[in-house]
Amino acid sequence: MATKLSYDFFIPTAFNGADFSTALQKLLDTPMEERRVDYGAFYFDVSDAEHQPGQTVGLVSRHRMRNLPPTGDSRTGALDRLTLPDHQSVAEPCAFLYNSELNVVVFQRSPHVSQASFARLVNWAAQTAFVFLPVLSEDAMTRLGKLQKPRRFVLTVASLQPAEYLEGLDSSLKGLAPFVRELEGRRVRIEISALPKSDYLSKDAILHTVGALFGRLDDERLEKLEVDGEDEDGHNAIVDFIDGGLRGHEVLTEGAPRHTDIGLLKDSIRKAFDVSSSYLSSHLRPNAQVQQVPIAG
């Protein structure tokens, strides 16, 4: 059975103008005992980095040091203790790729490691404050500015803890948090519409909410953010902030090996970038900077 690997594309952004290439190299040059982000029961670290002109590929792993899983016997179903020396861990790796020409990070989707973990590693070692923002649809903010009468706002968040995401927003949306937590939902879709045709939503409120949402994307996964309404000419227009061409890109590989194949992870993420490189180049200028989202207040 084929292995399915999925990837997301991000632009590393620091509002103090820091250079991500320099920060990443600082991380890789820092000794392991100083660069890892340690939470006691587990820690995050980078490894197996390979450099090519303008591109770095490597792994970010979550290392479990406590509550190690048992081994299982496929013949009897018996569980046995996994015996490891105290200094060894159970590593859960995922791949990353950074292209310095486009200033783009490609990150493998993983239930154990997020792009936020990678950002924390870089920030810890380089004393920076990078966040990874998804590649936005071209001129999304410009098109929103031309939208005269926004009538519908759609938000979809996928997260292991979406209730905490809503709770953290400075708006009445946080009132939904107890309900989402009780249902144990993993995907939340919110649609707000102006019902009478003569009414429309507040553009200032939309801008404020968009800014707050993008400010939290280093922690959560925003799957959809869309606004539609009438443009300057009275025609219906849709502004989709998330570039669908660069979300959930999948690469099919050969059957899953007995053990995690590090080379397979790195080769697959290279292929994912190569497939999308032309599309990226046409949408992002060299040394691209993310479109800045104004945050009110």
Cα 279 to Cα 167: distance, rounded to the nearest angstrom:
36
Average pLDDT, stretch 220-247? 72
Is 275 a residue whose pLDDT tops 80?
yes
Q: Which long-range contacts (CB under 8 A, 24 or more apart) does 23-26 make?
A: 23/122, 23/123, 23/125, 23/126, 23/128, 23/130, 24/56, 24/98, 24/122, 24/126, 26/122, 26/125, 26/126
Tokens of 176: 């939904």
Is 186 a residue whose pLDDT tops 80?
no
Task: Please state whether the predicted TM-score (pTM) of the whole model is above 0.85.
Answer: no
* pLDDT score for 47: 96
Closest CA to 153 of 208, 194, 109, 123: 194
Cα 282 to Cα 271: distance, rounded to the nearest angstrom:
18
More confident residue, 171 or 276: 276
Q: Using one digit for the tens of pLDDT, what is the confidence trace for 88-102?
A: 999 999 999 999 999
Residues of the chain with pLDDT > 90, as a percent, come to 34
* pLDDT score for 58: 97
More confident residue, 207 or 278: 278
**Strand order from edge to edge, sheet including 236-240:** 187-193, 149-158, 221-230, 236-240
CB 11 within 8 A of CB 217: no
* pLDDT score for 126: 94
* pLDDT score for 251: 61
Is 242 a residue whose pLDDT tops 50?
yes
More confident residue, 115 or 214: 115
Q: How confident is the model at residue 218 (pLDDT cuts 50, 70, 90)?
A: very low
* pLDDT score for 256: 67
Is 295 a residue whose pLDDT tops 60?
no
* pLDDT score for 2: 54
* pLDDT score for 170: 59
CB 156 within 8 A of CB 188: yes
More confident residue, 105 or 241: 105
Instruction: List Cα–Cα distances, 19 to 30, 84, 94, 103, 124, in angstroms.
Output: 17, 40, 23, 9, 15
Is 238 a residue whose pLDDT tops 60?
yes
Instruction: List Cα–Cα distances, 286 to 102, 135, 200, 292, in angstroms.
Output: 5, 14, 38, 17
Tokens of 80: 């046995």
Give, for 251, the enclosing helix (H) or strand (E). strand 247-255
Distance between first and last Cα of the chain: 52
Is 289 a residue whose pLDDT tops 60?
no
Q: How confident is the model at residue 43 (pLDDT cuts 50, 70, 90)?
A: very high
Q: How confident is the model at residue 21 (pLDDT cuts 50, 70, 90)?
A: very high
Q: Using one digit for the tens of pLDDT, what is the confidence trace for 98-147?
A: 999 999 999 998 878 888 899 999 999 999 988 887 776 666 767 777 77
Residues of the chain with pLDDT > 70, as a percent, come to 74
